Structure 1
Amino acid sequence: MATIRELNKWANAHTYYPLDLVRVIFGVFLFLKGVTFITETNYLHDILNTAGNFGSEMLIIHYVSMAHIVGGTMICIGFLTRWSVWVQMPILICALLLNFFSEFNTSNFVQASAALLLAIFFVFYGSGKHSVDYYLKMHK
């Protein structure tokens, strides 16, 4: 099993600007989703209502929106990327599953699938060479 250090060495040796651009776009996407959930609370409320009635719906809404905003920002700049992606994983898995348990929406399914695949990729790849993590590691 590869350690984080080995994964970082591999990622830094195989870093490319397009992958860093994908990481930034992924972070911006999550950030904007979080902002959408805050500004349009009915949107997430309607999504959660299709899956059933949750007693702690407001807690879930606040967790999802803040996790997306903070995590998206951290992924975008490449700071603690793997940790940020791990926080996103339960949300992305639930987003994917909600499409099967409720009314299937192709657009939401494609977004959730792409986001989950990118999250899995960045768990292994990390933040790459053009990130705050790399900068902090090199300037210790």
Structure 2
Amino acid sequence: MATSIKQLNKWANAHTSYPIDMLRIALGVFLFLKGVSFVSDRHYLNEVLNTFNGFGGEMLLIHYVGFAHMIGGFLIVIGFFTRWSIYAQLPIILSAVLINFFGEFNLSNFLQASIAFMLCLFFSFYGSGKHSVDYNMKMEQ
């Protein structure tokens, strides 16, 4: 049975609640703050880049991860292009989960990345919900 984005939106809007919207906002704030800390904390940045030693593209990694988290997190908070923002986050967060197995295992980072990954998967299907910019723009049409 193929489901479309329109059907998922109808289901999500019928089953929306404030706690789920608060969870979406918390995910967006978390991602935004992770992006800020990734760009501003040079020690953590060097630690992550040492894991990828020899792969090249470090500057691309720095700019993509930091700004994708900051911009995507902001868009998730306000509920604008939520699914697209989540799709941009999924490879980053999946990589964050996998980094714990290739480098030193850090339980705190692993739990943060795993929870963020599960929430991103949930909101990639659920969408932004009724209390969002996406919903308000759709209702104005």
TM over 0.5: yes
Q: What RMSD, in angstroms, separates the aligned Cα atoms of the two structures?
A: 0.9
Pick which of 47-56 and 80-89 moved more. Answer: 47-56
Q: TM-score, normalised by structure 2?
A: 0.96
Deviation at 1:53, TM superposition (A): 2.9
Q: After TM superposition, where is structure 1 displaced by more than 2 Å over at least 4 residues in a row?
A: 50-54
Counterpart AA for 1:62: H
Partners of 1:51 and 1:101 within 8 A in 2: no
Partners of 1:85 and 1:123 within 8 A in 2: yes
Identity across matched positions, percent: 60
Q: How does 1:77-116 map to 2 (within 5 A)?
A: 77-116=78-117
Deviation per CA, 1:71-126: give whole Å up to 9, x if none: 00000000000000000000011000000111100000000000000000000000
C-alpha distance in structure 2 between counterparts of 1:62 and 1:6, whole Å = 35
User: Helix, strand or coil for the counterpart of 1:127?
Assistant: coil
Deviation at 1:52, TM superposition (A): 2.9
Aligned in 2, Cα 1:86/1:65: closer, same or farther, shift over 3 Å?
same
**Ranges in structure 1 where 5+ consecutive residues have no aligned partner:** none
C-alpha distance in structure 1 between counterparts of 2:3 and 2:61, whole Å = 34
Pick which of 114-123 and 41-50 moved more. Answer: 41-50
C-alpha distance in structure 1 between counterparts of 2:45 and 2:121, whole Å = 24
Q: How does 1:16-55 map to 2 (within 5 A)?
A: 16-55=17-56
**Residue matched to 2:128:** 127
**Residue matched to 2:63:** 62
Counterpart AA for 2:26: I
Deviation at 1:64, TM superposition (A): 0.1
Deviation at 1:41, TM superposition (A): 2.7
Partners of 1:24 and 1:76 within 8 A in 2: yes
**Ranges in structure 2 where 5+ consecutive residues have no aligned partner:** none
